[in-house]
Chains A and B, each alone.
Chain A
Amino acid sequence: MNKTIKVFILGEERELPWNTMLGDLYGMLGFSRWSTLLLVNGEPRADDSYLDDGDMISWLRITYHESPVRENGKKMRYLSRE
């Protein structure tokens, strides 16, 4: 079994442990799950589902009232994708 998988997060290839769940990405990306919904290949997926090799991850802002990124300067680059 592969020890890692390769997924695409906002078009950027990332290597992740093989047992990464979608819900783990919220913490990794600094996103709040209450203002963002992460999509796998354009579709919603349960947070406790495992990611597969080649999955394309995108995000959707679900609230009008807040940036999807917590106050974390390192991740602010994602805002430029809007």
Chain B
Amino acid sequence: MERRCDICQENEAIYTDYSRGVSLCTNCLKSSIRRRAWAVLENELQEGDKIVVAHSGGKDSSLALYITKEFIDTHPDMKLNMVSLTIDEGTFYRKASIELAKKLAEKLGIRYIVFTMEDIHGISIEDIKVNIPKNWRRSVCTYCGVLRRQAINAVARELGASVVITGHNLDDIVQTSVMNIARGDVNALVKTLRHERRIGEGLIPRIRPLKYVYEREVAALVIALGIPAHLGKCPFTQGMRIGIRRVIDELEDEASGSKIRALRSFYLITRSIRPRVEIKRCKVCGEPTTADLCKACQFKLELSDFFGKDLLKPPSFEKASSEKEWIWSNR
């Protein structure tokens, strides 16, 4: 039995938005998501920006790429340029998503570039998984997150990008914020939410156009529009986020709109807090950090014992330097 869209009253509804109490068709869902995402882009992008989209090939980054491309095409006066970048962590899971990422980039006419974690850091996540002891206090996700984040920032910087766009959605950001609160790390909470253009030398500002979009909305729209995206699950997933996610989801079930209200509250609360951040250079690799040794180098030092060799060396960007000219040139 067809259920019509509450907004246009024409097409079949494909998604129920509990926070607004309406069911939407593909077009109206897309308009609703685009309105929120474009508001972020309009606010945070600047004329002439060179954008690197951190594109894993999953649903979130694929939709971020798709929406940003539409934004660029409809704002030619801003003279924006974008490329799609995948960091291949070296998991078998990533292979399928790279194919889909490439397919979407080609479909949208965007330059696409892949860097492997091994190229940059000299190790892959698969290697880490194999070498760390069972029941080790850190999960593979912890290493993967830090090494991947540093790789994205460093590659974007070496490519000459002025901003990085990521696919983080509302659920991701609320979970991370609550995790920071649970850890008592107010400084990390402020860093999660604030994205000033000038954060520090060597750090490329990040923009998250989907920050007011539910993960569920992203999934529904990606399927409805047939956007090529990998919908599988990372085989290594574990960690604190699972429990936090469950609690937040239950809260959303009890009171629709809790996630969005929580995020707005976090922004208001942290607005008056000045982060205690002094950006320095890592003594080993020279990457930006708040400590003497960046987190990636701290982890490489820790992992060296398990690997039985010294992993502590600066990341390599030979490929980024050689691709820099080509990647931004006009087609």
The residues of A with any CB-CB pair to B shorter than 8 Å are 23, 32-35, 37, 39, 43-52, 60-66, 82
* A44 adjacent to B241 (CB under 8 Å): no
Indicate if B237 sits at the interface (CB-CB under 8 A).
yes
* B245 adjacent to A46 (CB under 8 Å): no
Query: Which A residues are CB-close (under 8 A) to B13?
Result: 45-46, 48-49
7 pairs of residues in contact across A and B, judged by CB atoms under 8 Å: A35-B245, A43-B223, A45-B13, A61-B233, A62-B219, A63-B171, A66-B245
Interface string of B33-70 (1 = CB under 8 A from A): 00000000000000000000000001100000000000
Query: Which A residues are CB-close (under 8 A) to B237?
Result: 64-65
Known: A43-B224, A44-B224, A45-B13. A32 touches B219 (CB 8 A): no
The CA-CA distance from A42 to B59 in the complex, in Å, is 17
List which B189-229 residues lie within 8 A (CB) of chain A.
Answer: 215-216, 218-220, 223-224
* B215 adjacent to A44 (CB under 8 Å): no
* A46 adjacent to B215 (CB under 8 Å): no
Indicate if B242 sits at the interface (CB-CB under 8 A).
yes
3 closest A-B pairs (Cβ-Cβ)?
A: A49-B3, A46-B23, A46-B13
Q: A33-B216, A34-B215, A62-B216 are in contact. List 4 more A-B contacts (CB 8 A).
A: A43-B14, A49-B12, A49-B13, A64-B233
The CA-CA distance from A49 to B233 in the complex, in Å, is 28
Q: How far is the CB of A34 from chain B (nearest CB, A)?
A: 4
* A37 adjacent to B220 (CB under 8 Å): yes
Query: Which A residues are CB-close (under 8 A) to B24?
Result: 46
Indicate if B234 sits at the interface (CB-CB under 8 A).
yes
Indicate if B1 sits at the interface (CB-CB under 8 A).
yes
The CA-CA distance from A48 to B24 in the complex, in Å, is 11
The CA-CA distance from A49 to B6 in the complex, in Å, is 12
Indicate if B231 sits at the interface (CB-CB under 8 A).
yes
The CA-CA distance from A51 to B253 in the complex, in Å, is 22
Query: Which A residues are CB-close (under 8 A) to B59?
Result: 62
Interface string of B231-262 (1 = CB under 8 A from A): 10110010001100110010011000000000
The CA-CA distance from A66 to B252 in the complex, in Å, is 16
* B249 adjacent to A50 (CB under 8 Å): no
* A48 adjacent to B233 (CB under 8 Å): no
* B252 adjacent to A34 (CB under 8 Å): yes
Query: Which B residues are CB-close (under 8 A) to A82?
Result: 233
Highest count of chain B CB atoms <10 Å: which of A23, A33, A51 = A33
